[in-house]
Amino acid sequence: MDAKDILGLPKNSVPQERKPRPQKDSQRKPGGISREVYALTGGLAPPKPAIDASQLKKRPPDEKITWQWLPFTNSARKDNLQLYHWVRVVNGIPPTGDYSFAKYNKSVDIVKYTDEEYEKYLTDPVWTKEATDQLFELCQQFDLRFIVIADRFPSSWTVEELKDRYYSVARAILSARAPSPGDISGHPLVKEPYNVSQETKRKQALSKVLEEAKRLTESRMVARGGEGFELSFPLNAGPESAERAVIPGDTVSPLSNVELPTAAVAPSTSMLLVYLRTYALDQMVQAESSSAGLRTIKRVEQTLLEIGVNLKP
């Protein structure tokens, strides 16, 4: 019985001719090539390489390369420390010359002065010669990283004051050693001198901008938390204030089961960092599970009741 018998349709007495299926050309995978490569290329010849074979370096037939564990010294170091590393040796002859990474040791050229130049050009009622010498030694050691220099400097000088002393001394030495003022007019220390008052005002203005941005962020978080009830805490709150929510009057315990009004909690549930384990948690769970459907939520609640789990712990 076929579909025509079920539908009551007459059968055709003339048999239909079946079209012969086209035979696929069976190509055998040539030897010496993997199946994956043959499936990608389809048996076609690889494209012509973009680099001529004559341009490639060819190893001489009599060249013998080995790797040896040899000592080396770094000219960038002042202690002549001797270390070891693997070296490519050709025909038993190790490479000569300086350490290959010594060229990357860049340092800042610090202006040096003599005792006579200090007494003649660099005397200052605030700075002593010992403090100035120590400042320049730290500048040489830390490559003018004044944040680190201010941390290492024994006196309580600010970063701006240390910069002002260094650049004023360097500018005075350059001016004293130059044959004429025109020879150093294009030098950065002379062309753009360091202005300590302008730098101090710039940092004060930047600090005010950062404080204003922080204040605006806190006010927006408080506004989103709702009026009359605040569960979040400021951004700069410490661990003690983060352990509890801020509640007006401090009359409601965080662990109590008192239900709060919906208007006071619902707007702030998406921004809570510290929340109550009562009505606010229930609102968050319902907001997250609203897409699951009412029937699924009822089944989950019925299952929790059957196993003895309180829906509002």
Helix (H, G, I), strand (E, B) or coil at 76: coil
pLDDT tens digit sequence for 199-254 = 999 999 999 999 999 999 888 888 887 544 444 444 444 444 444 444 444 444 44
Residue 168 makes CB contacts below 8 A (sequence gap 6+) with 194
Residues 119 and 188 in one domain: yes
Residues 171 and 119 in one domain: yes
268 part of a folded domain: yes
Comparing 211 with 297, which gets the higher pLDDT?
211
Tell me the two tokens of residue 297. 């939520």
For position 254, what pLDDT does the model report?
Answer: 41
Comparing 17 with 40, which gets the higher pLDDT?
40
Comparing 232 with 107, which gets the higher pLDDT?
107
Residues 237 and 184 in one domain: no
Amino acid in the structure at residue 7: L
Burial class (CB in 10 A: 0-12, 13-18, 19+), 186: exposed
Helix (H, G, I), strand (E, B) or coil at 85: strand
Q: Which helix (H) or strand (E) holds 196?
A: helix 196-224
Residues 81 and 152 in one domain: no
For position 307, what pLDDT does the model report?
Answer: 85
> What whole-number percentage of the chain has pLDDT above 70?
70
Residues 124 and 186 in one domain: yes
Angle at 148 between CA 142 and CA 149, to 5 degrees: 70
For position 69, what pLDDT does the model report?
Answer: 95
pLDDT tens digit sequence for 173-186 = 999 988 888 888 88
Question: CA torsion sign, 101 to 104 to 109 to 110?
Answer: negative
Residues 74 and 120 in one domain: no
Q: Looking at residues 159-168, what average pLDDT do you find?
A: 94
Computed on alpha carbons and rounded to an integer, the radius of gyration of the chain in Å comes to 41
| Report for 8-12, 23-27, 235-239: range of highest mean pLDDT | 8-12
Residue 291 reports pLDDT greater than 80: no
Residue 3 reports pLDDT greater than 60: yes
pLDDT tens digit sequence for 249-278 = 444 444 444 444 444 444 444 444 554 455
Residues 89 and 147 in one domain: no
Q: Looking at residues 89-98, what average pLDDT do you find?
A: 88
107 part of a folded domain: no
For position 118, what pLDDT does the model report?
Answer: 92
Number of domains observed in the structure of the chain:
3
Q: At what angle do helices 196-224 and 159-177 cross, to 10 degrees?
A: 150
Strand partners, 70: 85
123 part of a folded domain: yes
273 part of a folded domain: yes
pLDDT tens digit sequence for 222-234 = 888 754 444 444 4
103 part of a folded domain: no
Tell me the two tokens of residue 111. 């202006």
Residues 232 and 302 in one domain: yes
Q: Looking at residues 133-148, what average pLDDT do you find?
A: 93
Helices (H) and strands (E) in the chain, counts: 12, 2
**CATH code: domain of residue 179:** 1.10.10.60
Residue 166 reports pLDDT greater than 90: yes
- Give the range of the structural domain holding residue 158, as residue numbers without chain letter: 115-194
10 part of a folded domain: no
Strand partners, 89: 66
When pLDDT is cut at 50, 70 and 90, the band that residue 26 belongs to is low
For position 35, what pLDDT does the model report?
Answer: 83
190 part of a folded domain: yes
Strand partners, 68: 87
4 part of a folded domain: no
Which of 173, 194, 215 corresponds to the end of one domain? 194
pLDDT tens digit sequence for 58-88 = 777 788 889 999 999 998 888 889 999 999 9
Question: CA torsion sign, 193 to 197 to 202 to 203?
Answer: positive
For position 235, what pLDDT does the model report?
Answer: 47
